[in-house]
Amino acid sequence: MSSLIDPRYIRDRIRTVPDWPQSGVQFRDITPLLQDPKTFRVLVDCFVHRYMDHDIDVVAGVDARGFILGAVIAYELNRGFVPVRKKGKLPFDTVAEEYELEYGSATVELHADAVKPGDRVLLIDDLVATGGTMIAAARLIQRLGAVVSEAAAIVDLPELGGSTLVREQGIPLFTLCHFAGH
Ligand SMILES: O=P(O)(O)OC[C@H]1O[C@H](OP(=O)(O)OP(=O)(O)O)[C@H](O)[C@@H]1O
Ligand SMILES: Nc1ncnc2[nH]cnc12
C-alpha cells in the first residue's frame, strides 16, 4: 500500500543541512515536520492510517527521533510503547546489538521484558540511511522471540543502501519519502 498523502508534501517540509554533523553529510532534519502542528498531524496520521488495521501488539521506537513519532503512533493505535535506546540508558536487564552508522558506530539496547515471544512489533525510526540502526533494533526484537511486523520511517536515503539491506533481512519496510543522494 502506498502512503495516504503525496510524498512531496513530507519531503518538501524536511530541512537539509549540508555538512552536519560532519563534512559530506547532507543532514535531513525532520524537526520542521514536528514544529508545524498541521504537518505533525498529517505525519502521524499517515502511519496510524496504515497500521490501524495491521495486527500490531507493541510499538518500538528508536532513540532518539523514533521516540517522538513512535510514542504518538502507539498512543493512537492504543498499544504500548517500548524504547530501543543507545547503550547505557536502560536500567533493567537488556539485550544489546552493536552496529555501524553513516558516521561512526553505536550500540542499541532493549529491555529484556519489552516484548514477548510471538508479539508483532511495529518498529519506528525517523530515517533509514545505512540501515544499521533499523537492522540492529530489529535483531533485538527478534532475539526476544518477537516478530517485526514492519519497520517504518519518514525518510529513506536509498543511495546509502540501507532500505535494500533491511528488506534483504526479511524485514518489511515502509517509508513516506526518499531523497536522492545523501
Ligand atoms: O540507517 P543508519 O545509517 O543506521 O542511520 C539512521 C539513524 O541515524 C540517526 O540517528 P543517530 O544515530 O544520528 O542518533 P540520534 O537520533 O540520537 O541523533 C537516525 O535518527 C536513525 O536512527
Ligand atoms: N543524512 C542523515 N540525515 C539525518 N539523519 C541521519 N542519520 C544518518 N544519516 C542521516
State the DSSP string of 79-90: -EEEEEEETT--
Cβ atoms of residues 118 and 142 within 8 Å = no
Rounded to whole angstroms, the Cα distance separating 78 from 91 reads: 25
Q: Check if 171 has its Cβ closer than 6 Å to any atom of ligand 2.
A: no
What is the pTM for the complete model shown? 0.97
**Model confidence pLDDT, tens digit, residues 110-135:** 999 999 999 999 999 999 999 999 99
Cα–Cα distance between 176 and 128 in angstroms, integer? 11
Please tell me if the CB atom of residue 129 comes closer than 6 angstroms to any atom of ligand 1: yes
The answer to whether 59 and 70 have CB atoms below 8 angstroms apart is: yes
Q: Which atom in ligand 1 lies closest to the alpha carbon of residue 132? A: 4
Q: Is pLDDT of 165 > 60? A: yes
Query: Choosing from 102, 109, 139, 150, which is the catalytic residue?
Result: 102
> What is the pLDDT averaged over residues 159-179?
97
pLDDT(104) > 80: no
DSSP class of residue 156 equals: E
Q: Which of 165, 153, 178, 157 is nearest to 66 (CA)?
A: 153
Alpha carbon of residue 141 to chain centroid: 13
139 classed as catalytic? no
Assess whether pLDDT exceeds 70 at residue 102: no
Give 76-120 as a DSSP string: HHT-EEEEEEETT---S-EEEEEEEETTEEEEEEEETTSS-TT-E
What the chain holds in terms of domains, given with CATH numbers, is: 55-178 (3.40.50.2020)
Of 68, 86, 99, 101, the residue with max ligand 1 atoms within 8 A of its CB, to mutate for a pocket test, comes to 101
Residue 36: predicted pLDDT: 98
Instruction: Please give the distance, rounded to the nearest whole angstrom, from the Cα atom of residue 157 to the centre of ligand 2.
Output: 8
Residue nearest to atom 2 of ligand 2 (CA): 27
Q: How far is C-alpha 145 from the chain's CA centre?
A: 20
ipTM of the complex: 0.98
Residue nearest to atom 14 of ligand 1 (CA): 64
Query: Residue 144: CB within 6 Å of ligand 1?
Result: no
